[in-house]
Structure formats: C-alpha cells, structure tokens
A = this chain, B = another copy of it.
C-alpha cells in the first residue's frame, strides 16, 4: 500500500542476501522509521519487540531471518541455531513456526552452497503468497461491498466498521479485513471506514487510522463504545474484522471487543464478516469460548497510554489513580451464530461446520 505516497510493502529485500528492510511499527503512527536488518538475531529482536507484528508478517520476517543466517553460514548447525533463535522470538505465533519449518525443510536436503539462495527464494515466495491470499480475500470481499452499493443511490458511500488492525501493517501487503476496502477504493467505489480505536493497545487509533490515511481512504476514528449507537442509526452497512483463530464450527477469536460489535450487528441486522487467510482456521478446535485460551496481558496497557505530547515527544501517561489495578484480556471469542460469513482466499464460507468443510474439504477432519 502507499506510504508517504509510494507503494511500500511492510517487509522488503534491501540488499540481496545481505539485508532486509522493515517499518518499525512500534514507532507508528508518530514516526515513520525504516530499519535495515542484517542478521537472524536482528530479525528475532524485531519480532520479539513487536517492530514487526501480525501473524502473516511475522511468518514472512522469520523466513527472511533464516535466509540471512544461511547467507553467512549455510551449515546444518547454523540452520538449527537460527531456527531456534527465531522460533523463540514469539512462541505463540503459529505462523512463524509454519514459515520456519517450510524454509528449513526446503533447504535441509540441499548442499550448503545452494541453501542461502533457496532460502531467500522461499522467503520471497512466502511474502508473495501472502499478498496473493490477501488479494483473494479482497476479491471475494469487494463483491459484498458492491452488493451493498447496488442497493444505494449511485455515488453514495458504503460504511464499513472495523476493529483493531487487520490491515496492510499486519501482513506483507493489503491486509485481511482491509483488503476488500482497498479493492473497493481501486474500483472507484465510494467507501468510508469507521475505525474502532481498540483499547487498550489502540491499534485502530495508531495503525488502522494511519494506513487508511496513507492510502487516502476516507475514515473516522471512533471510541470502541460507539459502534452500537452508529448501527442503531443506520450509519454502518457492514462490519469486517480480522481474526487470530477460527474454529471448525466458525467461532472467531479476535481482539477483545469484537464480540460486542458482533452482538450489536446482530441486533441491528448489519452483516458481520470476518476476513482471514485459510490457515487461520483451526479444525482441531470446536467451541471457541470454552476451548481457546485467552491471553492476559499487563494491566499497565490499560492504565497507561502513549501519545505525542505538546512538545512533540512521544510520552506515556497514566490515566488512573496511582494504585488502580487493571485486568487486560487481549482477545475474546465471537460465537459463530453472530458471524454472517468468513471471507477467505477461496471464497466466502458460512460460519458453520458444514460451510467450512465444504470450502476446505482438503483440510477439515
């Protein structure tokens, strides 16, 4: 997508076989800083410190990290050690392990002299495949937007609500929940996005507002409390969110607060869609509310907020009395009954066991 007016992926090859480039996402939206990473250790640090974030982007970064390691030392020992370093940089990121396993399996049978080149080629392929998946999501999702537009007056905008950042910045390009939005923009469909600020980590205010602004998509930031009111008054046509995990029956784990928006959508007959690359579907889990463990993070993410102060410096302020304790559940689970459909690269599946099995007969048990 566009960054400062130029097409930019979130990860790129800086010098073939020697370095990659990333955006330091911990500095967004206050500073646009590009980082050059030259070693697997630097990539591991970028992942663990959340300079890169979002499952697809973390996977792509990990693959490039292995390639950088093999360019210096293509031995079995170096491969094993870089793999360990990288996989430990975010132990819960299933996509990271998947990407590392894929690259490692690809290069291990090769003579050491050919490993670096093959690893780099595979890392690039992983990036390109992510973009292709997201383009697929965009193609299927934009049809929903077109359907809604067809019922409106010509030129009237379609209003989409999204939560958190399932955007360009969480992927290599285009994003998942944002991909249909960017596709609509490219097709000249008037579209407007209401962006939940997404407390406590403010990914909507920090990241989604930033990338929509860079891309020139019309948008309005709202407090997470506002979505229900907007839907009651007909101001939202469609909700599209991303997800961290979808179960075999279509329950959706996503950033905390997603469930509340799904309830409001149901109560106001607003379609509620979830956009995802199909590997996000976990066919081994059924009841998301009971079976998916929800990460509890530090209370300080609730009691403290970072932003730019009057002096232009990024500052962290405490918004509570000194001794106030906070709980910080990072995700919630939206039951399948509240989900209108799942937008994948293969098409749109109903959020039902049958719907998912029909679209993914090769993966369902």
Interface size grouping (class) on chain A: 35 or more
Residues of B within 8 A of A18 (CB): none
Q: Are A317 and B308 in contact (CB-based, < 8 A)?
A: yes
Q: How far is the CB of A329 from chain B (nearest CB, A)?
A: 5
Task: Among B221, B230, B315, B331, point to the contact of A329 (Cβ < 8 A).
Answer: B230
Q: Mark A264-278, 1 if CB is under 8 A from B, else 0.
A: 100100000000000
Contact with B along A281-317 (1 / 0, CB 8 A): 0000000010000100001001111111110000111
Check A114 for interface membership: any CB of B closer than 8 A: no
The answer, among B232, B305, B307, B332, for a CB contact under 8 Å with A232, is B332
A202 on interface, CB distance cutoff 8 Å: yes
The chain B residue sitting closest to A337, CB to CB, is B267
| CB neighbours of A213 from chain B (8 A) | 321, 323-324
Known: A317-B309, A332-B228. A223 touches B199 (CB 8 A): yes
Tell me if A223 and B328 are in contact (CB < 8 A). yes
A327 B200 Cβ-Cβ under 8 A: no
Q: Which of A170-178, A238-246, A254-262 contacts B (4 or more CB under 8 A)?
A: A254-262
The interface bits of chain A over 8-22 (1 if a CB of B lies within 8 angstroms of the residue's CB, else 0) are: 000000000000000
Most interface-central of A289, A304, A308 (chain B CB within 10 A): A308
Segment among A65-73, A203-211, A345-353 that sits at the interface with chain B: A203-211
Within the oligomer, what is the number of copies of this chain? 2
Known: A223-B328, A326-B220. A257 touches B230 (CB 8 A): no
Contact B324 A209 (CB under 8 A): yes
List, in ascending order, chain B residues with CB within 8 A of A228's CB: 257, 259-260, 263, 332
Give A214-231 as 1s and 0s: 1 = Cβ < 8 Å from B's Cβ atoms: 000001111111111110
Q: At the interface, yes or no: A34 with Cβ under 8 Å from chain B?
A: no
Report the separation of the CA atoms of residues A194 and B333 in the bound assembly, to the nearest whole angstrom: 20
Q: Which residues of B contact A256 (CB under 8 A)?
A: 223, 225-226, 229
| A321-B223 contact, Cβ under 8 Å, with A259-B264, A260-B263, A263-B263 | no
A255 partner residues in chain B, CB cutoff 8 A: 225
Q: Across the interface, which residues of B come within 8 angstroms of A320, CB to CB?
A: 29, 205-206, 209, 221
Taking the complex as formed, is A106 at the interface, i.e. its CB lies under 8 A from any CB of chain B?
A: no
Return the contact of A223 from the options B200, B264, B307 (Cβ within 8 A).
B200
Query: In the complex, which residue of chain B has the Cβ closest to the Cβ of A235?
Result: B327
**Inter-subunit contact B257/A329 (CB<8 Å):** no
A200: B residues at CB distance < 8 A: 223
Q: How far apart are the CA atoms of A324 and B219 in the complex, in Å? A: 8
Tell me the smallest distance from the CB of A59 to a CB of chain B, in Å.
Answer: 27
From B29, B232, B333, A259 is in contact (CB under 8 Å) with: B232
In the complex, whether A152 has a CB less than 8 A from a CB of chain B is no
A363 within 8 A of B: no
A227's nearest neighbour on chain B, judged by CB, is B260
Q: In this assembly, does A77 line the interface, its C-beta being within 8 Å of a C-beta of chain B?
A: no
Out of B210, B307, B332, which one reaches A318, CB within 8 Å?
B307
A365 close to B (CB within 8 Å): no
Report which A residues bind B (CB closer than 8 A): 29, 194, 197-200, 202, 205-206, 209-210, 213, 219-230, 232-233, 255-257, 259-261, 263-264, 267, 289, 294, 299, 302-310, 315-321, 323-329, 331-333
